[in-house]
Amino acid sequence: MKGVTILGATGSIGINTLDVISRYPEKYRIVALTANSEIERLYRQCQTFHPEYAVMGNELAAEKLAEKLSDVMPDIKVLAGMKGLEQVASLEQVDIVMAAIVGAAGLLPTLSAARSGKRILLANKETLVVAGQIFIDEVRKNQAELLPIDSEHNAIFQCMPDNFEQGLSSVGVRRIMLTSSGGPFLITPVREFSAITPDQACAHPNWAMGKKISVDSATMMNKGLEVIEACLLFNTTPDKVQVVIHPQSVIHSMVEYLDGSVLAQLATPDMRIPIAHALAWPDRIESGAERLDLFKIARLDFEAPDFDRFPCLAYAYETASQDNSAAIIMNAANEVAVAAFLNHDILFPGIPQVISKTQSELTPQSVETIDDILSEDQRARELAKDIIKEIMNGNC
């Protein structure tokens, strides 16, 4: 049996991972479950899967969870904070780590998993975007396995030759085609963007996701982050990654070869499919997802992205071509701006405004260590917060 830690068990990826694992009690056992502050949901998950460890990112939440578990499951060890997350990502009895903590908060525990040589199922975009080559180097140095969970990158992985790390052109690949649904505002007039509410931005037409990633989908920043991810995962450059708007979300991505062949991975929009693929790879297991019915779908549409409509995607492409801390700055500004939008502090168009102004006012610095990364992240967050205050005061 494989021991599994789920970083971010109460989010949509964590819930779907537990659903897949519940179908194979003879193959997988849950060693640790983690959450930030959702005590009740993690408590119910502990009742069902009885892990050895439960970790809350929030210290007070950990105390409350420990109280609830003390009478019914006193053998479950409750940990708290970043150190607890790093510990359960590196336990000797853990073979697989699902890295599904949203945002830069997932960086350190995912790095801990890499340094411990685990199979990492990477659902956290920001780890690659923020840590970049440092994270990839840790994976290789410690002989960890890195399998992408984003439906798009998982699709690319399935369509790639095994030796893609040698470089795309050397293995016969011309380009990657990264599909995107276009989000909920693909045809909304841009002049109406200022009236968009957080609830509207979180109502994705095809996927059930958390609030932050749903807003990223609405601005297409999620696709921008995925462009950067694809460059790192598949050892390529942004000019070899083309974003394709595909509203049906049936083709999850494609790989074009030098001979003109295009391989595509198709499936219903259900995250249990890439999760099951990565859990069992190189084998295959049932995911529980509905089978794809091409006759029901009937048509597949494609179009090029509009960078004027989605400036965040343009910023990401520019950032993907830069060195040093450019991606860290962009990601930090985006996280702060999305949080402000969800809190009704800025309007929807304020998100790209905050990102653009933060990037223009900060010069990217060289980053060689994790401390460098965290320092740059904090520098960008502080400036982004100041810019948001200016917007709120009408001075920006």
SS3 label, residue 341: helix
Report the C-alpha gap between 249 and 151 in whole angstroms: 10
Beta strands in 109-210 (DSSP E): 119-122, 145-148, 173-180
Domain annotation covers residue 278:
yes
SS3 label, residue 326: helix
Domain annotation covers residue 276:
yes
Please report which confidence band the pLDDT of residue 162 belongs to, taking 50, 70 and 90 as the band edges.
confident
Residues 37 and 138 in one domain: yes
Domain annotation covers residue 106:
yes
Residues 128 and 201 in one domain: no
Residues 119 and 62 in one domain: yes
What pLDDT, in 10s, does the model give residues 14-44?
Answer: 999 999 999 999 999 999 999 998 999 999 9
Q: Which amino acid is at 271?
A: M
SS3 label, residue 319: helix
- Using the predicted structure, report yes or no on whether residue 133 has a pLDDT greater than 90: no
What's the average model confidence in pLDDT over 67-74?
A: 93
Please report which confidence band the pLDDT of residue 203 belongs to, taking 50, 70 and 90 as the band edges.
confident
Domain annotation covers residue 226:
yes
Backbone torsion region of residue 60, taken as left when φ is above 0, otherwise alpha when ψ lies between -120 and 50, otherwise beta = alpha
- Using the predicted structure, report yes or no on whether residue 375 has a pLDDT greater than 90: yes
Domain annotation covers residue 220:
yes
Domain annotation covers residue 179:
yes
Domain annotation covers residue 316:
no
Using a pLDDT cut of 70, give the percent of the chain over it. Answer: 99
- Using the predicted structure, report yes or no on whether residue 288 has a pLDDT greater than 70: yes
Residues 206 and 261 in one domain: yes
What pLDDT, in 10s, does the model give residues 43-58?
Answer: 999 999 999 999 999 8
Residues 80 and 185 in one domain: no
CATH number for the domain spanning 357: value is 1.10.1740.10
Residue 193: CB atoms within 10 A of its CB come to: 19
Residues 260 and 162 in one domain: yes
- State how many domains the chain has: 3
Distances from the Cα of 20 to the Cαs of 16, 125, 276, 285, in angstroms? 6, 21, 7, 9
**Domain carrying residue 163:** 155-297
**Mean per-residue pLDDT over the chain, rounded:** 94
Using a pLDDT cut of 90, give the percent of the chain over it. Answer: 88
Residues 25 and 115 in one domain: yes
Residues 143 and 6 in one domain: yes
Token digits of residue 179: 């599909």
Report the C-alpha gap between 21 and 45 in whole angstroms: 12
- Using the predicted structure, report yes or no on whether residue 208 has a pLDDT greater than 70: no
What's the average model confidence in pLDDT over 339-366?
A: 96
Residues 7 and 144 in one domain: yes
What's the average model confidence in pLDDT over 102-121?
A: 93
What's the average model confidence in pLDDT over 183-209?
A: 89
Residues 139 and 32 in one domain: yes
Residues 145 and 160 in one domain: no
Please report which confidence band the pLDDT of residue 207 belongs to, taking 50, 70 and 90 as the band edges.
low
- Using the predicted structure, report yes or no on whether residue 12 has a pLDDT greater than 80: yes
Domain annotation covers residue 38:
yes
> Which helix (DSSP H) or strand (DSSP E) does residue 321 occupy?
none
Token digits of residue 275: 């999760």
DSSP-derived secondary structure letter, 164 = G
Given 3-state DSSP classes, what are the helix, strand and coil percentages for the chain, each rounded to the nearest 5?
Answer: 50, 15, 35
Please report which confidence band the pLDDT of residue 205 belongs to, taking 50, 70 and 90 as the band edges.
confident
Residues 178 and 285 in one domain: yes
Please report which confidence band the pLDDT of residue 381 belongs to, taking 50, 70 and 90 as the band edges.
very high
Task: Using the Cα atoms of residue 42, residue 153, residue 107 and residue 310 in order, give the sign of their dihedral.
Answer: negative
Phi and psi torsions of 78, nearest 5°: -100, 125
Token digits of residue 192: 């109406």
CATH number for the domain spanning 17: value is 3.40.50.720
- Predicted local confidence at residue 395, as pLDDT: 73
Beta strands in the chain (DSSP E): 2-7, 28-35, 53-56, 77-80, 96-99, 119-122, 145-148, 173-180, 241-245, 251-257, 262-266
- Using the predicted structure, report yes or no on whether residue 251 has a pLDDT greater than 80: yes
